[in-house]
């Protein structure tokens, strides 16, 4: 009768069985984090290959400019107008980027499909499954956006710039990023994440490499910057750091106060009588001890 009243987890531990557990309530499962990490690595690889292919395709034009340079210099020195500037022919550049993008997408999508299936299998919530599916669909749209289009090509000569191309593909990734960030923030309360998981990165805290990897993957969803992570390692509070990083260093406040005026909203986090953090627009503006 006693065994029948034990919870399944307790019973398994009592029997000496090794079980996997979620260390922090609500945090995305390991399968979901692996899926997201897989999409990050794949998108960066495809960006590098696609952009690199376009730049390589532009090199013949740059070589042509170098061969024309002496003539252009003579025209300028004699006060004459140089011949009309050549323009890049966009078709070879577009085709090069398109081929690279298609090859990368074909090779990698099978792997991310497998990770996606494992991620869905790791959760039971229909709402969470829908959010993940929406993220994956938007992410696939981003992969399609890696194929260059004529407006991406700067047609001035002699310098080819991929700036317009980079802007467009970065913009194409934003919808997927927004869905993922919302998913993470809804799954794991920001203040709990900041005061628990993120705080493990401060100073010389000893955590497993896998836990460190997971926290680093989730951190950007909580507006944690690379500079914030550096400050955490040094256990240094810094004006301008994110609210989340400050909470990771000082912990949860004992009292909060929200002030609203013409300049906007300011939040004050109290830690006893003479210790407080002041936050505006998610960033630390003062710290008193």
Higher pLDDT, 201 or 18: 201
What 3-state DSSP class applies to 286?
strand
pLDDT in the model for residue 136: 97
Of the candidate ranges 62-66, 146-150, 191-195, the one whose mean pLDDT is the lowest: 62-66
Backbone phi and psi for residue 117, each to the nearest 5 degrees, phi listed first: -60, -40
- pLDDT of 3 > 90? The answer is no
What are the sequence ranges of the domains in the chain? 30-187, 190-288
Measuring CA to CA, which residue among 98, 90, 92, 91 is closest to residue 146?
98
pLDDT (tens digit per residue) in 45-65: 999 999 899 888 888 776 666
pLDDT in the model for residue 152: 84
Q: Is 190-288 assigned to CATH 3.40.50?
A: no
- pLDDT of 151 > 70? The answer is yes
What is the rounded distance in angstroms from the CA atom of residue 61 to the CA atom of residue 188? 51
Of the candidate ranges 62-71, 173-182, 185-194, 251-260, the one whose mean pLDDT is the lowest: 62-71
What is the rounded distance in angstroms from the CA atom of residue 223 to the CA atom of residue 244? 8
| Confidence tier at 274 by pLDDT (50, 70, 90) | confident
- pLDDT of 86 > 90? The answer is no
**Is residue 287 within a helix (H) or strand (E), and if so which, with residue range?**
strand 283-288
Of the candidate ranges 76-85, 87-96, 138-147, 193-202, the one whose mean pLDDT is the lowest: 76-85
Percentage of the residues of the chain whose pLDDT score is greater than 70: 80
* Contacts (Cβ under 8 Å, ≥6 apart) of 2: none
- pLDDT of 20 > 50? The answer is no
| Confidence tier at 71 by pLDDT (50, 70, 90) | low
Mean pLDDT of 249-269: 89
pLDDT (tens digit per residue) in 90-104: 788 889 989 998 888
Mean pLDDT of 84-94: 70
- pLDDT of 42 > 70? The answer is yes
Average pLDDT of the chain is 83
Backbone phi and psi for residue 48, each to the nearest 5 degrees, phi listed first: -60, -45
pLDDT in the model for residue 153: 77
Other C-beta atoms within 10 Å of 266: how many? 16
| Confidence tier at 1 by pLDDT (50, 70, 90) | very low
Of the candidate ranges 4-13, 180-189, 198-207, the one whose mean pLDDT is the lowest: 4-13
Higher pLDDT, 52 or 78: 52
| Confidence tier at 12 by pLDDT (50, 70, 90) | very low
Measuring CA to CA, which residue among 152, 93, 124 is closest to residue 29?
124
Higher pLDDT, 8 or 273: 273
């Amino acid at each position: 009768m006693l065994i029948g009243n034990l919870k399944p987890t307790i019973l398994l531990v009592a029997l000496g069985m090794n079980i996997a557990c979620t260390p922090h309530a609500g945090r995305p499962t390991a399968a979901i984090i692996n899926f997201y990490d897989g999409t990050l690595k794949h998108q960066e690889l495809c960006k590098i290959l696609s952009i690199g292919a376009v730049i390589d395709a532009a090199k013949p034009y740059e070589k042509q400019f170098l061969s024309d340079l002496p003539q252009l210099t003579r025209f300028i020195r004699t006060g004459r107008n140089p011949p009309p500037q050549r323009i890049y022919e966009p078709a070879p550049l577009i085709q090069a980027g398109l081929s690279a993008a298609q090859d990368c997408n074909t090779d990698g999508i099978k792997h991310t499909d497998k990770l996606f299936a494992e991620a869905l299998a790791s959760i039971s919530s229909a709402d969470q499954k829908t959010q993940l599916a929406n993220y994956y669909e938007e992410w696939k749209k981003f992969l399609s956006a890696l194929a260059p289009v004529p407006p991406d090509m700067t047609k001035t000569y002699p310098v080819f710039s991929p700036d317009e191309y980079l802007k467009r593909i970065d913009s194409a990734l934003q919808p997927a990023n927004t869905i993922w960030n919302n998913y993470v923030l809804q799954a794991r309360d920001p203040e709990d994440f900041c005061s628990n998981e993120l705080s493990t990165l401060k100073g010389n805290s000893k955590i497993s490499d896998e836990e460190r990897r997971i926290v680093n993957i989730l951190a950007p969803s909580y507006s944690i910057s690379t500079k914030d992570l550096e400050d955490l390692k040094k256990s240094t509070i810094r004006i301008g750091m994110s609210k989340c990083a400050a909470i990771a260093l000082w912990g949860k406040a004992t009292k909060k106060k929200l002030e609203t005026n013409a300049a906007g909203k300011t939040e004050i986090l109290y830690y006893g009588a003479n210790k407080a953090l002041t936050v505006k627009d998610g960033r630390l503006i003062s710290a008193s001890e």
